[in-house]
Structure 1
Amino acid sequence: MMGAADMNFEHSADIVVVGFGCAGLAAAITAWRAGAETLILEKQAQDAHTPSTRMSGGMMMAATDVAGATGYLDRCAGGMVPRDISAAWARRAMTLIDWLHDIAPELDLRNVGGAEHPEFEGAETLGVYQPGGAKTRLDLNGKAGPFLWERLSANFHDKTGVPVLWNASADRLLRDETGRIIGVETCDGRRIEARKGVILTCGGYLHNAQMKQDYLRAWPVFFYGNPGNTGDGVRMAQEVGADLWHMNQMIGRAIGNFPMEDGSDLSVMLFLNPPGYVITDRNGKRFADESAQADLLHGFYYHLLSYDPATGETPRNPCYWFFDEKRRKAGMLTLPSVGAHAVGLYRWSEDNSAEIERGWIAAGATIAEAAAAAGVADPEGAEAEVAAYNAACRNGMPDPMGRPAETMLPLDEGPFYCVRLYPGGSNTTGGPRRNARAEVLDTRDKPIPGLFAAGELGQATGMLYPSDGCNLSEGFCFGQIAAVSALGLQEGAA
């Protein structure tokens, strides 16, 4: 530890924000509005910037009642997040849509849905908003995350003039002789002073293989969020004594993961709809109501965590999605405005033919042939399972998995196709433990002076994903809270 006078800082600001996504933008604009000199460090290059906000569906969770929203968020957290943190989120979520429109009125955020668990008390107090004048959930019309980020970041730069240091990958936090965080050192040795606080908004560890294997409950597991989120914030916070929380949690669903020519891999959110789909385990057996996955909900992920102690295997990782020629012709298997496709990392073909040619989508004249090509251990078992499903569709029989009748469409037009699905999603949620003021806590539950965090780095979620737009809502809300706390203001003062 050294005194600030001995540090030889290259830059100095009141507030230093590490990471320029939704939480970083919220923290920076809140600090700037309060009159604080603010600086953002971003590890990626400006022309290759892929924040998870930009790769998202652009949806936003907001609240209409603090008490109801607090209760609902607390129920979804499953005891993993203190109630006062849920309450702090709910209070900021009350004003979130107005706050966003104040930055960028052209967003035209519209209410397109509600909470993911409507059976929970307080669910009716949450709404989901989407930009670009959307009329229904998943009406992405090219105005999802890319549109949201482009308009927010453009307005942010135009209105604030807050500088961003691009290609500035934070490596470690700097402390003075009292243990207070007074700055950041980058990987190339630059030191940046933070006179009032450092706010970590640099994402989770979704692209850090070792951390994923150490902490998450599924392996292998893949993510389609920002490739730059490699656990830097977790490591830096640990080095200064931060406690960690819910490191085994993630925002999950079943996703695709495919090999690229350069040896890398591509993770993609896949879209099962329109109906005409069956998902089996590696033995060709169905195991859950697939419509939850088809509706892009998040609970289906938990079905993939099954472990068989008799064999030492995880029979649902991967699992296998079967569909027929009708679905192949209905449109691309992914959403054009979300994930890698949205930021130009890969362009999925409109009719899925390129992906069939690549071998990502296995094909066959029969279900068994497609299953064998995809690697199902019992292809004939998969064919029998699909035949039973088809019979239930035609005869109007109840589905043994409880699937709604309106989603039951037979797979009866060959050729047939199969895609491997893995546990995965948009982001991890574990990271440094924080309190309702977004202060990072040490292992004795005391705030580390000068250190704050927001967004998916130690996100304030637990067992269940509350609703579409939860990630962005949490980032925007706690980014604001972190800036207010770093400046020593009362919550609501900025």
Structure 2
Amino acid sequence: MTIRDMDRRTLLKTGLMSAAAAGAATIANTASAKPAGASEMHFDVVVLGAGCAGLSAALEAADKGAKVALLDKMFGPFGNTIYAGGHFNATNTFVQKRDGLSDTLDEFYKDMMDVSMGRGDPELTRMYVEKSGECIQWLTDRVGIQWKKMHEEPWPATVRGHVVDGPKKPGGAQLTTQLLDAVKASKNITLFFNTKAIELLKTPALACTGVRAVTTKGEVIDFHAKGGVIIATGGFHNNKEMICKYMGGGVAWMPLRGAATLTGENIELTRPFFPQYVNMDQYHSGPIHGPTKANPSLMVNYGIIVNKEAQRIIDEVNTYVYIAKKLPQITPDNWAYIIIDQKVVDVSTVASRIARYKKAKAPIYEGQTIAELAKAMNVPIEALEKTVADYNAAVKSGKSGSLTPPNTLKNAPVLDKGPFLAFPFQGGMTATFGGPKISKKAEVLNTENRPVPGLYAAGNAIGGLFYDDYIVGSQLTAAVIWGRVAGEEAAGRTKR
């Protein structure tokens, strides 16, 4: 890899940012009607965004022989990937076989479509399912990713949750570090950090031919791309104007759970090509302790969820995405608690979430009895005692489904072993599901459903795959799948 040094500033204070700094590069610019003073650079493929999708795309294109420029507006990889838990949702993998778990493609496809209310694009979803195992293998063989021991999780994660292992936490930081290391080791990739894409270059017939960018030093550079441009800039979840426009002002008030750097370049840069934008009102939400950013995620399925009046408020079988989206609607202030007992604290999923709260110094309320717990939480004591007693009795009698609200978990836990723990959380905004629709070849499709020549997209920059909800780990898996596809297609286009 070639690196053109830019502002190193105080490049990074974390291990990941050191890795980014080591590869922290550079600048360059150009434009449609080339501005005075703009410089030009020529590559086979230009990738925008240094997250999971962009890094995967750059690697694949370079491995196919293309000369690649990888641009990012920040001074390192600061998208959603570094904050992710490192889950990959996949099936028919060597990791499942290693840990004695099995699944079928058809069951996986059914679950993917069920969580999207049947509105996920069927072709893309089928391709996702069929390529998910290949994604895990590639990350292992090409990038050196290692995987934690797998455990069966509540539906819809079931036996498909592959979690990145390694010293950096969360798993997304470990993933980013290893992907970035692989990129830096490639002689075919030049990294340009602190370099913001401001315009896609195009022919009069609307073929994409490159990118105009501006650096933090004010330089304008036109990056010409013989094979094409890959949009891997993420979505628009921290663009309040877009959130209000497509989802409403209520959503804009949710605490931010994802990266603050994702502000809608996938929409604004592609507009001149008349792309087919889909699922623009859909988004990924998740539980978060807003003030500290502690993330309980899957822990919502390991106990009960109560409001400040100590009443259960939702069926705990629901995914953390669904629960987080509903919370602002069913509580006046978007706050609730997860209550668990000691029987689950050593389950790896739960233990890692408790560690997150402790590391973030987020509140964890504890009591040897439910009454003590209620006092620590500052909720009505008698109300919480009754809520837990009624819940336990229903679970023990096999009638938890008749509770109001029901609990339809297959193995709903009885809360009877103290000390009991409670974790406050809110529903937060993680990522948007909308963007330009892509083909199976990662080509951006226009409103006539035709591919835009030379324009590709991957990761959270795309629309069409997710609707309403998703299975944990699906976004990272999809980012690798279509990042690699886009890289291969753009590299191949240079030879056509």
With the length of structure 2 as denominator, give the TM-score of the two structures: 0.73
1:30 aligned onto 2:60: yes
User: Match for residue 414 of structure 2?
Assistant: 408
Q: Residues 71 and 280 from structure 1, CA distance in 2 versus in 1: closer, same or farther, beyond 3 angstroms? A: closer
1:304 aligned onto 2:327: yes
User: Match for residue 433 of structure 1?
Assistant: 437
User: Is the contact between residue 196 and residue 486 of structure 1 (CA under 8 Å) also seen in structure 2?
Assistant: yes
The correspondence for 1:289, drawn from 292, 298, 315, is: 315
Q: In structure 2, what is the Cα distance between the partners aligned to 1:384 and 1:236?
A: 56
User: Match for residue 214 of structure 1?
Assistant: 245
The correspondence for 1:279, drawn from 302, 305, 329, is: 305
User: Is the contact between residue 60 and residue 472 of structure 1 (CA under 8 Å) also seen in structure 2?
Assistant: yes
User: Is the contact between residue 324 and residue 411 of structure 1 (CA under 8 Å) also seen in structure 2?
Assistant: no
Q: In structure 2, what is the Cα distance between the partners aligned to 1:430 and 1:110?
A: 31
User: Match for residue 488 of structure 2?
Assistant: 484
1:57 aligned onto 2:80: no
Could you give the per-residue CA deviations for residues 244-298 of structure 1, whole angstroms, max 9, x where no partner exists? Answer: 111122222332211xxxxxxx5331368599965344665422134656xxx43
Matches within 5 A, 1:132-151: 132=165, 142=169, 144-151=171-178
Q: Residues 84 and 5 from structure 1, CA distance in 2 versus in 1: closer, same or farther, beyond 3 angstroms? A: farther
1:96 aligned onto 2:101: no
Alpha-carbon offset, residue 196 of structure 1: 1.8
Q: Residues 463 and 410 from structure 1, CA distance in 2 versus in 1: closer, same or farther, beyond 3 angstroms? A: farther
Instruction: Give the aligned residue type for 1:56.
Output: A
Matches within 5 A, 1:298-377: 298-304=321-327, 306=329, 315=331, 318-321=334-337, 349=358, 354-355=361-362
User: Match for residue 451 of structure 1?
Assistant: 455
Q: In structure 2, what is the Cα distance between the partners aligned to 1:273 and 1:115?
A: 11
Taking only the aligned residue pairs, the percentage that are identical comes to 20
- SS of 1:10's partner is strand
Instruction: Give the aligned residue type for 2:407.
Output: G
Q: In structure 2, what is the Cα distance between the partners aligned to 1:36 and 1:478?
A: 17
Matches within 5 A, 1:141-220: 142=169, 144-187=171-214, 188=218, 189-216=220-247, 219=251, 220=253
User: Is the contact between residue 290 and residue 428 of structure 2 (CA under 8 Å) also seen in structure 1?
Assistant: no
Alpha-carbon offset, residue 464 of structure 1: 5.5
Alpha-carbon offset, residue 43 of structure 1: 1.1
Q: In structure 1, what is the Cα distance between the partners aligned to 2:122 and 2:266?
A: 24
- SS of 1:407's partner is coil
- SS of 2:160's partner is strand
Alpha-carbon offset, residue 243 of structure 1: 2.5
Could you give the per-residue CA deviations for residues 15-46 of structure 1, whole angstroms, max 9, x where no partner exists? Answer: 10000111111111111121111100011113
Alpha-carbon offset, residue 210 of structure 1: 2.2
User: Is the contact between residue 324 and residue 413 of structure 1 (CA under 8 Å) also seen in structure 2?
Assistant: no
User: Is the contact between residue 280 and residue 434 of structure 2 (CA under 8 Å) also seen in structure 1?
Assistant: yes
User: Match for residue 390 of structure 1?
Assistant: 388
Q: Residues 271 and 473 from structure 1, CA distance in 2 versus in 1: closer, same or farther, beyond 3 angstroms? A: closer
1:267 aligned onto 2:293: yes
User: Is the contact between residue 103 and residue 152 of structure 1 (CA under 8 Å) also seen in structure 2?
Assistant: no
Q: Residues 366 and 100 from structure 1, CA distance in 2 versus in 1: closer, same or farther, beyond 3 angstroms? A: closer
Instruction: Give the aligned residue type for 1:157.
Output: K
Alpha-carbon offset, residue 234 of structure 1: 1.7
Q: Which runs of 5+ in 1 are unaligned?
A: 134-139, 259-265, 307-313, 342-346, 373-378
- SS of 1:408's partner is coil
Q: In structure 1, what is the Cα distance between the partners aligned to 2:301 and 2:35?
A: 65
Could you give the per-residue CA deviations for residues 73-131 of structure 1, whole angstroms, max 9, x where no partner exists? Answer: 344433433322223323432311221122133x223561568645xxxx98x733223
Q: In structure 2, what is the Cα distance between the partners aligned to 1:413 and 1:114?
A: 25
Q: In structure 2, what is the Cα distance between the partners aligned to 1:5 and 1:83?
A: 44
- SS of 2:293's partner is strand
Q: Which runs of 5+ in 2 are unaligned?
A: 1-30, 93-103
User: Match for residue 309 of structure 1?
Assistant: none
Q: In structure 1, what is the Cα distance between the partners aligned to 2:305 and 2:373?
A: 12
How many residues are paired up?
Answer: 437
Alpha-carbon offset, residue 68 of structure 1: 5.5
User: Is the contact between residue 301 and residue 316 of structure 2 (CA under 8 Å) also seen in structure 1?
Assistant: no
- SS of 2:290's partner is strand
Q: Residues 394 and 5 from structure 1, CA distance in 2 versus in 1: closer, same or farther, beyond 3 angstroms? A: closer
With the length of structure 1 as denominator, give the TM-score of the two structures: 0.73
- SS of 1:230's partner is coil
User: Is the contact between residue 86 and residue 460 of structure 1 (CA under 8 Å) also seen in structure 2?
Assistant: no
- SS of 2:459's partner is coil
Alpha-carbon offset, residue 211 of structure 1: 2.0
Alpha-carbon offset, residue 13 of structure 1: 0.8
Q: In structure 2, what is the Cα distance between the partners aligned to 1:483 and 1:115?
A: 33
Q: Residues 275 and 110 from structure 1, CA distance in 2 versus in 1: closer, same or farther, beyond 3 angstroms? A: closer
- Name the stretch that deviates more: 452-461 or 141-150: 141-150
Alpha-carbon offset, residue 199 of structure 1: 0.5
Alpha-carbon offset, residue 153 of structure 1: 1.7
User: Match for residue 9 of structure 2?
Assistant: none
Q: In structure 2, what is the Cα distance between the partners aligned to 1:300 and 1:79?
A: 19
User: Is the contact between residue 338 and residue 423 of structure 2 (CA under 8 Å) also seen in structure 1?
Assistant: yes
Q: In structure 1, what is the Cα distance between the partners aligned to 2:415 and 2:199?
A: 54
Could you give the per-residue CA deviations for residues 182-226 of structure 1, whole angstroms, max 9, x where no partner exists? Answer: 121224432211222110001111222222232236522233222
1:19 aligned onto 2:31: no
User: Is the contact between residue 40 and residue 164 of structure 1 (CA under 8 Å) also seen in structure 2?
Assistant: yes
Alpha-carbon offset, residue 478 of structure 1: 0.5
Alpha-carbon offset, residue 349 of structure 1: 4.3
RMSD: 4.3
Alpha-carbon offset, residue 70 of structure 1: 4.4
User: Match for residue 98 of structure 2?
Assistant: none
